[in-house]
């Protein structure tokens, strides 16, 4: 209680209403819940939430930037031209007059307007939730774009985190198509190396900025700053996140929105507004560092499932033992009656849990997935996996009021019943919905579901739409749809289970993950467990011994069941590639989302074996189905994606034209599966096809000089 008292003694009046919940020294305490009415999100004074946020702007489909009539003022940033991205950022901006600030770049996009160079500075730090910053200020209500306040509330449970610019999520990058984006990533995290990946950006010509450690760059060392530079060449909803270790799950992520002129978006006629604040970033949240769960414990909080879900870094937490609920603010999205709004949902989960999004009383017209436009479909619930993005339109045509947004963690998240709520509200209406809060077990009605987990995808149905049933809203390269691809790659993946006596033998140190049921596993793709090389092939190919690399046709001699090497598949430049992913994991509630760097691919088919006698799919059976023409394929406007969940006990078929040379990581997007080897590298083209290594590009590698004699 001492902490609470100290907090109350010095806090601002708003903080008085903040009940916090801390796990100190491993024991749970029931904290006093303060305040009677939750006026944090009752909006007393009106300066925190909803209408009165200073950072909204409205982009009409006619390309106009306008302030809302009731708002009557332009975005305000405390009277300063640049936002608080740190003193170094101010210096760079002062010395480079041709750079634009983040808020100058977050604009409506018009065809024919010159692109900008958008400059960002990320300071990555060890930080905390509910630190003393919360005595100094109250956090920006819509933390999605920028914040001057350094208070991170998360779900009201105190813990250490990793943060970019003391924000959760980190800063949002919002630019127009073809802008150049420059991000100085300053690693101020003691004892940690880091890289940032720009998930969804293709990095054509800037392969060195893809942010994959030991593949496209050496990780950024502590105290060092690495300048990422890329062109926002493909519009859409994307995100950035740490690609090193387990850091992403501790808070290193944020949204990226690449807008385009309405004339270039085939679905722009379906919405009136595309607000900077209508980004919906979903993340799973633990109450301890993610590394606490790796390799994983047997008894106390086993497995890797999160305690909670956050929506734009916000939420509340109900203690399962005491029933105590924190009263931190929920995220609020505001709409004007009668208007149609584009929402941009990002699944930034790190665990294996799918996220199920439902919004009370409002159907969702899905218009894009992973940034790529699809022909609109109307659903009521979207199930998404780590790494996926879905854009949808909501028509504010219901009775003005407030409505619940429910995000439920499915699969393993069902054990702890992790879910989060947010509010969809009509301007000038109440902040709190009048209906009771949807519960994990008694949630909002699902209605029509996008991306059903049952993966019955080979026929039209009234209750669900599968990803392979979406139609591309744009013309698809005919070459991709030719009957025979140039290269066909079958990639089965599974876990390898170790017996403890195999794993814990003297003088061997094999990596492993302890699954929730106590199984000790590593991941295999095509019977290979991926290890990162000691230097990045993109920048230091000559420093890597050729024996480091392997693939299904080139297994190292004496490579046993736990074959460890850098799995690399070589693909000729411009080939039409077909990949068939086959789920040999066979864990009933687990579907693995695979993400391809450098591309969007076309989803040609997905499903399960049509053969009723086959209980479990495997590579042999998938090959057999393919030979018999029974792998489901649809060539009429297949949708583009960069992340696709393989139905459990099922398969996915996708294609792409390999016209972007590089070393592109292809991997399960579950964080804990990356670190046990569920990756491959798609190596497209040759070194001659790649841009040269930039001067002074950092290097890394083993240091093993000859050992000289005693004298």
Interface ranges with ligand HJ1 (CB under 6 A):
303-304, 352, 412, 495, 513, 515-517, 519, 521, 587, 590, 672
Residue 311 and residue 345: Cα distance in Å, rounded?
10
User: Of 515 and 577, which CB lies nearer to ligand HJ1 in the complex structure?
Assistant: 515
CB of 246 to ligand HJ1, least distance (A): 12
User: Of 173 and 675, which CB lies nearer to ligand HJ1 in the complex structure?
Assistant: 675
Whose CA is closest to 273, among 425, 394, 400, 369?
Answer: 394
CB of 670 to ligand HJ1, least distance (A): 6
CB of 303 to ligand HJ1, least distance (A): 6
Whose CA is closest to 392, among 424, 411, 366?
Answer: 366
Inter-residue contact 152 to 136 (CB < 8 Å)? no
User: Of 445 and 588, which CB lies nearer to ligand HJ1 in the complex structure?
Assistant: 588
Inter-residue contact 179 to 152 (CB < 8 Å)? no
Whose CA is closest to 539, among 262, 210, 128, 288?
Answer: 210
CB of 304 to ligand HJ1, least distance (A): 6
CB of 503 to ligand HJ1, least distance (A): 15
User: Of 22 and 586, which CB lies nearer to ligand HJ1 in the complex structure?
Assistant: 586
Residue 238 and residue 314: Cα distance in Å, rounded?
20
Residue 634 and residue 132: Cα distance in Å, rounded?
56
CB of 673 to ligand HJ1, least distance (A): 6
User: Of 260 and 587, which CB lies nearer to ligand HJ1 in the complex structure?
Assistant: 587
Whose CA is closest to 450, among 440, 435, 463?
Answer: 463
Phi-psi region of 246 (alpha: psi -120 to 50; beta: other; left: phi over 0): alpha
Residue 282 and residue 311: Cα distance in Å, rounded?
5
CB of 581 to ligand HJ1, least distance (A): 17
**Dihedrals phi, psi of 251, to nearest 5 degrees:** 130, 0
CB of 296 to ligand HJ1, least distance (A): 8
User: Of 364 and 674, which CB lies nearer to ligand HJ1 in the complex structure?
Assistant: 674
In the numeric block, the tokens 């414990």 are attached to 297
Asked whether the CA dihedral 333, 337, 343, 347 is positive or negative, the reply is: positive
CB of 677 to ligand HJ1, least distance (A): 12
Asked whether the CA dihedral 537, 541, 546, 551 is positive or negative, the reply is: positive
Cis peptide before 169 (omega within 30 of 0): yes
As a whole number of Å, the CA-based R_g of the chain is 25
Residue 463 and residue 140: Cα distance in Å, rounded?
39
Which two three-digit tokens encode residue 200? Answer: 């969804």
User: Of 220 and 521, which CB lies nearer to ligand HJ1 in the complex structure?
Assistant: 521
Phi-psi region of 150 (alpha: psi -120 to 50; beta: other; left: phi over 0): alpha
Residue 408 and residue 47: Cα distance in Å, rounded?
30
CB-count burial class (<10 Å; 0-12, 13-18, 19+) for 627: exposed
User: Of 238 and 667, which CB lies nearer to ligand HJ1 in the complex structure?
Assistant: 667
User: Of 335 and 355, which CB lies nearer to ligand HJ1 in the complex structure?
Assistant: 355
CB of 241 to ligand HJ1, least distance (A): 18
In the numeric block, the tokens 């299904």 are attached to 552
CB of 428 to ligand HJ1, least distance (A): 45
Inter-residue contact 662 to 690 (CB < 8 Å)? yes
User: Of 408 and 673, which CB lies nearer to ligand HJ1 in the complex structure?
Assistant: 673
Residue 76 CB partners (closer than 8 Å, separation 6+): 54
User: Of 158 and 519, which CB lies nearer to ligand HJ1 in the complex structure?
Assistant: 519
User: Of 259 and 669, which CB lies nearer to ligand HJ1 in the complex structure?
Assistant: 669
User: Of 393 and 521, which CB lies nearer to ligand HJ1 in the complex structure?
Assistant: 521
Inter-residue contact 250 to 201 (CB < 8 Å)? no
CB of 497 to ligand HJ1, least distance (A): 7
User: Of 319 and 519, which CB lies nearer to ligand HJ1 in the complex structure?
Assistant: 519
CB of 495 to ligand HJ1, least distance (A): 6
Residues present in the chain in total: 711
CB of 75 to ligand HJ1, least distance (A): 43
Cα 705–710–711 angle (5° rounding)?
A: 100
What are the start-end ranges of the E strands in 547-695? 549-550, 564-571, 576-583, 592-596, 601-608, 640-641, 643-646, 650-657, 662-668, 679-684
**Dihedrals phi, psi of 616, to nearest 5 degrees:** -130, 130
Strands 549-550 and 529-530: unpaired
């Amino acid at each position: 209680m001492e902490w609470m008292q100290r907090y109350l003694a010095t806090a601002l009046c708003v903080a008085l209403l903040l009940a916090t919940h801390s796990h100190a020294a491993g024991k749970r305490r029931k904290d006093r819940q303060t305040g009677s009415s939750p006026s944090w999100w009752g909006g007393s004074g009106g300066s925190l939430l909803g209408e009165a946020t200073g950072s909204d702007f409205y982009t009409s489909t006619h390309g106009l930037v306008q302030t809302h009539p009731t708002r009557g003022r332009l975005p305000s940033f405390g009277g300063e031209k640049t936002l608080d991205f740190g003193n170094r950022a101010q210096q760079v901006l002062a010395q480079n007059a041709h750079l634009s600030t983040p808020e100058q770049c977050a604009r409506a996009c018009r065809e024919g307007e010159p692109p900008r160079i958008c400059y960002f500075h990320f300071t990555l730090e060890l930080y905390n939730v509910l630190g003393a910053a919360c005595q100094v200020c109250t956090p920006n209500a819509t933390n999605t774009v920028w914040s001057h306040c350094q208070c991170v509330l998360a779900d009201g449970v105190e813990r250490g985190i990793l943060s970019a610019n003391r924000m959760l999520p980190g800063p949002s990058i919002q630019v127009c198509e073809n802008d150049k984006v420059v991000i100085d990533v300053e690693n101020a995290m003691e004892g940690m190396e880091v890289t940032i990946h720009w998930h969804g950006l293709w990095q054509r010509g800037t392969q060195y900025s893809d942010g994959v450690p030991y593949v496209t760059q050496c990780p950024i060392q502590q105290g060092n700053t690495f300048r990422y530079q890329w062109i926002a060449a493909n519009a859409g909803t994307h995100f950035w996140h740490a690609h090193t270790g387990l850091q992403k799950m501790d808070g290193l992520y944020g949204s990226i929105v690449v807008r385009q002129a309405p004339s270039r978006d085939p679905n722009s006629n379906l919405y009136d507004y595309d607000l900077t604040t209508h980004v919906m970033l979903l993340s799973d949240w633990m109450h301890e560092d993610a590394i606490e769960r790796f390799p994983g414990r047997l008894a106390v909080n086993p497995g890797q499932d999160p305690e909670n879900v956050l929506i734009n870094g916000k939420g509340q937490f109900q203690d399962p033992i005491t029933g105590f609920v924190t009263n931190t603010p929920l995220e609020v999205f505001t709409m004007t009656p009668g208007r149609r709004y584009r929402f941009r949902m990002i699944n930034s989960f790190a665990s294996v849990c799918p996220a199920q999004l439902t919004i009370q009383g409002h159907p969702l017209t899905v218009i894009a997935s992973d940034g790529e436009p699809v022909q609109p479909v109307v659903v009521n619930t979207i199930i998404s996996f780590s790494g996926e993005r879905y854009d949808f339109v909501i028509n504010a045509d219901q009775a003005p009021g407030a409505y619940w947004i429910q995000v439920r963690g499915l699969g393993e998240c069902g054990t702890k019943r992790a879910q989060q709520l947010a509010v969809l509200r009509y301007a000038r209406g109440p902040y709190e919905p009048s209906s009771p809060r949807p519960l994990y077990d008694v949630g909002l009605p699902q209605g029509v579901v996008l991306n059903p987990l049952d993966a019955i995808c080979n026929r039209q149905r009234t209750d669900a739409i599968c990803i392979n049933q979406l139609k591309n809203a744009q013309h698809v390269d005919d070459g991709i749809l030719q009957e025979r691809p140039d290269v066909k790659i079958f990639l089965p993946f599974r876990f390898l289970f170790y017996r403890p006596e195999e794993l814990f033998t003297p003088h061997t140190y094999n990596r492993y993950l302890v699954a929730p049921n106590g199984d000790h596993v590593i991941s295999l793709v095509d019977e290979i467990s991926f290890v990162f090389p000691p230097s990045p092939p993109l920048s230091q190919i000559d420093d890597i011994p050729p024996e480091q690399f392997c693939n299904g046709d080139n297994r190292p001699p004496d490579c046993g069941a736990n074959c460890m090497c850098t799995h690399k598949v070589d693909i000729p430049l411009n080939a039409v590639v077909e990949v068939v992913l086959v789920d040999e994991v066979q864990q009933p509630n687990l579907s693995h989302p695979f993400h391809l760097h450098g591309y969007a691919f076309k989803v040609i088919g997905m499903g399960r074996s049509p053969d009723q006698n086959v209980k479990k799919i495997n590579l042999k059976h998938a090959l057999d189905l393919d030979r018999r023409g029974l792998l489901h394929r649809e060539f009429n406007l297949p949708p583009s994606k960069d992340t696709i969940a393989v139905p459990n006990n099922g398969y996915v078929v996708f294609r792409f034209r390999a016209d972007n040379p590089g070393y592109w990581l292809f991997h399960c997007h579950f964080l804990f599966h990356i670190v046990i080897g569920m990756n491959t590298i798609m190596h497209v083209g040759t070194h001659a096809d790649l841009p040269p290594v930039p001067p002074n590009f950092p290097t890394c590698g083993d240091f093993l000089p000859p050992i000289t004699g005693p004298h």
